[in-house]
């Protein structure tokens, strides 16, 4: 027989009682985390989201409650009335915030029983936690674990801090619709059939990009929103089909003014974990980031910069290198300190790793020491390049005694991707990352276009409303209007930028095009006819013609920011109800089928 709550009110949470409350009469409510039965008395660890408090039910002083406690099992929901008592010396628990006290129970209420959970919530040695799919199916149980609750709490704090920041800076929180129009461009849309307009569809926002720009045209001046976004693309450890971003836009601003808000917001949010970021973050152009780190989101918590060996190898007749250079590629390397003892197995593994990014091979030089102090060079290239050349390359790369040099040759994009990833991989393997450090960076001047080799076309590197750099405007005009100069588009830089913390792209944005003429040029550059541009973005092009102020903004990933705040590398750890890598919700078993009658009403047929 279960008890009812009635008018009983809890007086404290399970995380707050201390020595100071000894003697007070209290009411706690929560879940049974653990029961330890000693016959004449029983200990219960009572849990809520605030913590754990030990309660004692004694046969001698509360026989009725003690008899009831016999029936308790894990995850039962109970209330205890009793007195806070100080624990005797030697029975205090230093591991518990409430460990100096316990509740001497006078009355026990059982509000609900519970089935035996399909997995253990807390296991000694957290590596024995049940597999993630089991926990996702019973997410409500997994969410009872303190570690996950702390993440959810941190996320709530982060969102609150973001609102605080923008509110304090005169920004208006404005909601934009979830039911939009599909603009087939970029990511795949999630589409929603319209019942009233049979055969027509809404699309869920990939981001509120156009709408926030329209709020600028509308004169709202400073907008922000905690916006849910949807992208029907394959998932990753840091990517989900629906996610949340802080979206902001402001009028009459240059890039530096947007950077200031980006820095200000992140600096405010990272205070939540006691991290002080510099008020002005370092800046680095995209070109420099790619050259030095092989990545547009370099992790600056460690060095190991890319070293260019192309110059030293321009005379080589070793075909793989010579061909690479002839084709406009490059040969670069990273130096791994103290790793001249890499085994063949290890370098093979790393070679396997870089091959994923399109690298043909991974060459290496190991600067070792023979018996005594004689310096010995060992390399996969000794036979083809000769000892003197190896010596030159090692010194060019900056390798000292005991170091390993890892070399990749190929197209610039491949070398950057392979070595950029290898740099992170090696740092992870060799534990080169100081987890207490937080290194931030603003990457600037992203290219306006990316070259698609298959079709020899230029596609927008950012969204198609990103403004080119003023300095590159002529280059842009020529590249668009003179077909023979089309390749110039590859050199046009944009006013797009990213905020990077610890190698995570936390935010990205740009100054937008606010003039119709430049916008039309951009659509042309992207291979869009005026007609198709009008069909897709007509309403927006119209809006641009009614007095658009110069404007720009950024969007920050809430989950990625929370991953940094929580120190996790998995996006599912900072979402209450995440989906699996195959975009399913194992708890509610979505996506699911719908009734034939629903489909009929919508005029939708499943083939």
Residues 155-214 interacting with RNA (rule: CB under 7 A): 185-187, 206-207, 209
DSSP H or E stretch at residue 476: helix 473-481
Whichever of 119 and 438 has its CB closer to RNA, that residue is 119
Whichever of 142 and 472 has its CB closer to RNA, that residue is 142
Q: Verify binding: residue 535, RNA, rule CB under 7 A.
A: no
CB 304 within 8 A of CB 334: yes
Q: Verify binding: residue 124, RNA, rule CB under 7 A.
A: yes
Please report how close the Cβ of residue 255 comes to RNA at its closest, in angstroms.
18
Q: Verify binding: residue 146, RNA, rule CB under 7 A.
A: no
Please report how close the Cβ of residue 367 comes to RNA at its closest, in angstroms.
29
Those residues with Cβ within 8 angstroms of residue 103's Cβ, 6 or more apart along the chain or in another chain: 17, 26, 28, 46, 53, 54, 55, 56, 80, 82, 83, 84, 85
Q: Verify binding: residue 249, RNA, rule CB under 7 A.
A: no
DSSP H or E stretch at residue 367: strand 363-369
445 vs 6: CA distance, rounded Å? 64
Q: Which of 242, 229, 228, 246 is nearest to 164 (CA)?
A: 246
Q: Verify binding: residue 119, RNA, rule CB under 7 A.
A: yes
Please report how close the Cβ of residue 450 comes to RNA at its closest, in angstroms.
7
CB 504 within 8 A of CB 563: yes
Please report how close the Cβ of residue 33 comes to RNA at its closest, in angstroms.
9
Given 3, 16, 34, 260, the residue binding RNA (CB under 7 A): 34
DSSP 30: E
Number of residues that bind RNA (CB under 7 A): 72
Q: Verify binding: residue 581, RNA, rule CB under 7 A.
A: yes
384 vs 587: CA distance, rounded Å? 58
**What residues numbered 582-601 form the site for RNA, per CB under 7 A?**
582, 584, 586
46 vs 53: CA distance, rounded Å? 5
- Taking the CA atoms of the chain, what radius of gyration do you get in angstroms? 30
**What residues numbered 218-247 form the site for RNA, per CB under 7 A?**
231, 233-239
Which range, of 311-319, 334-342, 397-405, 459-467, touches RNA by CB under 7 A? 459-467
Given 23, 125, 219, 592, the residue binding RNA (CB under 7 A): 125
**What residues numbered 479-498 form the site for RNA, per CB under 7 A?**
none
CB 112 within 8 A of CB 3: no
Q: Verify binding: residue 417, RNA, rule CB under 7 A.
A: yes
Whichever of 57 and 270 has its CB closer to RNA, that residue is 57
Q: Verify binding: residue 387, RNA, rule CB under 7 A.
A: no
Whichever of 74 and 490 has its CB closer to RNA, that residue is 74
Please report how close the Cβ of residue 562 comes to RNA at its closest, in angstroms.
15
CB 365 within 8 A of CB 422: no
Q: Verify binding: residue 607, RNA, rule CB under 7 A.
A: no
Please report how close the Cβ of residue 92 comes to RNA at its closest, in angstroms.
6
Which range, of 33-41, 244-252, 560-568, 594-602, touches RNA by CB under 7 A? 33-41
Strands 242-251 and 404-410, how do they pair?
A: unpaired
CA 374 to chain centroid: 47
User: Nearest 5 degrees, angle CA 257-CA 262-CA 268?
Assistant: 125
Please report how close the Cβ of residue 153 comes to RNA at its closest, in angstroms.
22
């Amino acid at each position: 027989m279960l008890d009812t709550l009635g008018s009983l009110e809890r007086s404290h949470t399970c995380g707050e009682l201390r020595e100071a409350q000894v003697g007070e009469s209290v009411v706690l409510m929560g879940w049974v985390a653990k029961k330890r039965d000693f016959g004449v008395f029983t200990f219960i660890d009572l849990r809520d989201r605030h913590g754990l408090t030990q309660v004692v039910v004694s046969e001698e002083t509360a026989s009725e409650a003690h008899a009831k406690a016999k029936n308790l099992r894990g995850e039962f929901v109970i209330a205890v009335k009793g007195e806070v008592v100080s624990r005797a010396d030697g029975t205090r628990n230093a591991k518990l915030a409430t460990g100096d006290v316990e509740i001497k129970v006078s009355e026990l209420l059982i509000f609900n029983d519970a089935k035996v959970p399909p997995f253990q919530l807390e296991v000694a040695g957290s590596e024995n936690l049940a597999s993630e799919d089991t926990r996702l199916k019973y997410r409500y149980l997994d969410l009872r674990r303190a570690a996950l609750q702390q993440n959810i709490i941190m996320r709530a704090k982060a969102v609150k801090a973001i609102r605080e920041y923008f509110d304090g800076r005169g920004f208006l929180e404005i909601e934009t619709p979830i039911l939009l129009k599909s603009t087939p461009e970029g990511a795949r849309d999630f589409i929603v059939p319209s019942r009233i307009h049979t055969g027509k569809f809404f699309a869920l926002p990939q981001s509120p990009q156009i709408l926030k720009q329209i709020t600028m045209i509308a004169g709202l001046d400073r907008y922000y929103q905690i916006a849910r976004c949807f992208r029907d693309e394959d998932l990753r450890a840091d990517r989900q089909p629906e996610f949340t971003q802080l979206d902001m836009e402001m009028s009459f601003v240059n890039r530096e003014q947007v950077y200031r808000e980006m820095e200000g917001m992140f600096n405010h949010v990272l205070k939540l974990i006691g991290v002080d970021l510099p008020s002005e973050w370092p800046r680095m152009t995209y070109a420099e980031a790619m050259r030095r780190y092989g990545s547009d989101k370099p992790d600056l918590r460690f060095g190991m910069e890319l070293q260019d060996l192309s110059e030293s190898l321009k005379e080589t007749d070793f075909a793989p290198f010579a061909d690479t250079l002839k084709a406009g590629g490059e040969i670069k390397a990273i130096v791994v300190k103290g790793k001249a003892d890499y085994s063949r197995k290890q370098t093979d593994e790393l070679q396997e790793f870089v091959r994923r990014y399109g690298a043909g091979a991974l060459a290496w030089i190991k600067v070792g020491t023979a018996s005594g102090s004689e310096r010995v060079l060992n390399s996969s290239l000794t036979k083809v390049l000769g000892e003197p050349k190896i010596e030159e390359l090692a010194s060019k790369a900056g390798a000292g005694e005991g170091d390993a040099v890892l070399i990749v040759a190929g197209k610039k994009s491949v070398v950057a991707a392979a070595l950029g990833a290898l740099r992170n991989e090696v740092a992870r393997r060799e534990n080169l990352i100081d987890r207490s450090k937080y290194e931030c960076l603003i990457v600037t001047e992203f290219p306006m276009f990316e070259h698609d080799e298959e079709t020899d076309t230029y596609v927008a590197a950012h969204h198609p409303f990103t403004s080119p750099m003023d300095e590159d405007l002529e280059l842009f005009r020529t590249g668009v209007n003179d077909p023979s100069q089309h390749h110039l588009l590859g050199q046009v830089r944009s006013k797009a930028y990213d905020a990077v913390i610890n190698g995570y792209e936390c935010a990205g944005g740009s100054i937008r095009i606010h003039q119709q003429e430049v916008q039309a040029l951009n659509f042309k550059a992207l291979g869009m006819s005026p007609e198709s541009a009008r069909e897709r973005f007509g309403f927006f092009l119209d809006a641009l013609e009614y007095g658009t102020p110069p404007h720009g903004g950024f969007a920050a990933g809430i989950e990625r920011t929370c991953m940094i705040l929580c120190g996790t590398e998995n996006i599912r750890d900072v979402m209450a109800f995440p989906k699996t890598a195959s975009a399913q919700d194992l708890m509610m078993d979505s996506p699911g089928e719908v009734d034939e009658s629903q489909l009929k009403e919508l005029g939708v047929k499943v083939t």
